[in-house]
Structure 1
Amino acid sequence: MSVYIANFGVQNYEWPECLKRGTIATVNEVKAFELWKAGDREGYIRTRMAGLTVAGKQPTRAVAARWYNLMSIITQSVGDVWIHKEGPRIWWTRTTDEPASYYEKVEPVHPRRHVVVCHKPCEPWRNADETGAPLLWDALHPKAKDFLATEATLQKLTPDNAAYAMALIHGEPREQWHALPVWAAKVQSSKNKNTGARIYGGLDKCIWRMANTAFHTTAHANGQTVEKTVKNKDCLFTSQVALEAYIRELIEMQEGQCAITGMKLNFDDPDEDVEMCASLDRIDSSGHYEQGNLQVVCRFVNRWKGADDNAEFKRLIDILMT
C-alpha cells in the first residue's frame, strides 16, 4: 500500500466530480492518451516534448516521462490511500479494484484543451478520521503541512510520512513524530514567521544558489590538467539571471519534484532533510549547462548519479522504487 497526496486537473477542476463519483482522476490530451493506451512510451514522450505545458513552456524529457507515468499510477492503484486538501479540510479515500473509466471533454479552464479524463473508483471520500473527528488543515502540526498538500498532480509520500498520514487517518497519537527535533524546530520557525522574524531560505534563494554554483563550477572546469583532467563544461546562458529564470521554469514544470525519483524537493528549508535539497543536474554529464540538458534533482540523486548515463541511472532507480 502507498499513500499519495493529489490534485485533480488543472486548477483542480475535476475534484467536484471525484467527490461526487468516489474516484481519483487524471487527464491527458487526446493524442497523448492514445499513445499511452498503446503503450508507446517513446512516442508519448516525443509528442509531449513537441508541445507546450499549460503555462506555455517547453517540457523536458523528464517531465514528459513523468506525465506518461501519471495515468499508469492512477489506473493501477488498488488499496492505496489518497489524500486531498480542499480549503480548510483534508479528504482521504482508498482505491478499489474496479477498473478505471475514460471520457473526453473540453477543459473548463485555460487553455481549454480537448482531453481524456481517467476516473479510477475508490471508496467514498471522507473528511474525518476513523474515529469521526474532523480533519482540519489548521489543526495540523506545521511539519505535517509540508507533506500533506502538494502543488503537483500527485506526490507519493515517503514511508515515514506515509506512516504519519495513516496515524492521522486512524485517529492515533502522533507524539512520536512531534517529539523529534526536526518537528520541534518546525514549530519554532513557524512561530518566528508569525511574529515577523525574517527567515532566510526559500525558493528564490535556492534558485540563486544553484545558478551561482553552476557559474562558479564552469569557471573552474575548462579541461585543465592539474592532478587529473577536469571535464569540459561551460555555462551557455548569457547571465546568471537568465539561468535562474530557466531553473524556475524547470521547477514549475517538474511540479516541485525531483526529475528522476519524483520525490518532493527541499528548497533549502533548514528544517527539512538536506539530502532532498534541490540540485541542478546535467542530463548528459559530458555536456554543458544549457537549455535542454538540465534537470533539477535531489542532492543525493545528483551525487549518486555522478557521470552515469541518465536513462540507465533512472532505470536502476525505478527498480529500487518498485
Structure 2
Amino acid sequence: MGMATPDQDRLLLDALPSTPERKISSMFSSSITVEIGNGASTQFWTDAWLPTAAIPTFAPNLFKAVGRRRLGRSVKDALTDRRWVCDITGAHTALVLYEYVQLWARLKTFSYGLWNLIASSGAGQLMVSTPYVQRTGLALWAGRAWRGPRNFWHAAVPPKVKFFFWIALHGRLWTAERRKRRGLQLDVACALCDQLDETTDHLICSCVYAREVWSCLLHSLGSLATAPQQDSSLLDWWLLGRATLPQALRRSFDSLVLPVSWCLWKERNRRTFDHRSLMPPELLCCILDEANAWIGAGYGCLALLTASAA
C-alpha cells in the first residue's frame, strides 16, 4: 500500500465531521458586522444582519421550516411586501409559530429603532420602514390581516392562553372539522355535544354545552344578555360583548373570555384523548380553581371570574 499524497490527506481531513465550538462561534459572530447598504447583497435568512444575532441563532426551528431554495433571499427582497413570510413552507408547529412571533417582533423593533432604510435601486426608490403590517397588527400568514383588537394581548391571563386565543381567532385549532379536511379523521361530531360539526366557533360559542357554561358564568355576573347564541361566531360575539361594555371593563371581559375558552378547549381534549368528561357545573369548578391559582400568581383581573362564584 503506497503512501497517501498531501492532497489525499487534505481530502480525508475535509471528510471528517467538524462541529464548531459554541464559544468560538459566538466570539466569531460577535466580532463581525454586516454592512447592509440597500440590502440587495445581504441574505435575510443566513447573514447576521440583525443587531441581535442571525436568524438561525434565535429561531432555529423557524429556520428549518424555510424552503431550501428560499435561503438565498436578500434582505431587500425579503422585507419588500413581507415576502419572507412566504418562505416558511414547513410544518407550522408550536415552536415554529413561537419563533415566528419572536422574529416579527425583532423586525418591528429593528425597523422602528435602528434601521429606517431608504435606498436607491434600479427601479427607483425603495423604502422599507416597517414590516409590521403597517401597524394593523400581527398576521400569521402573508395576506392574512389581524382579526380583532390587538390589545387583548394585555389581558390578565398567562401567555399560553393568549396564544391559544390568537390561534382560535384565526381558525387554526385542530378541531374535528379541520382534521377531516386534512384527511386525518372521518368523524366531525363535536366532542362536547355530539350533535353538530366541531368547528372553532361551534366548540367555544354555539355548542349547547359551551352555552350552558357561558350562561352560568355571565348570569352570576349580571350579564346574561351577552351570552353567546346558537348561531354566534367567536370573533363577532367577543367584539360585540366588548363593545357593550365601558372602556374600563373591557380588559376584565377579555380576562373572562380567554380562560373560559381555554378551559372549554381542554375539556374537549379531555374527552377526545382521556375519554373522561365533566358536566358543566364540574367544569365551572375547574375554571374557578384554575383562576384562583392564576390570581395567586399575580393575574389579579381574574378576580372577575371568582366573583361569579360568590
Q: TM-score, normalised by structure 1?
A: 0.26
Structure with bigger helix share is 2
Structure with bigger strand share is 1
Structure ranking higher on relative contact order (CA contacts 8 Å, 6+ apart) = 1
Q: TM-score, normalised by structure 2?
A: 0.26
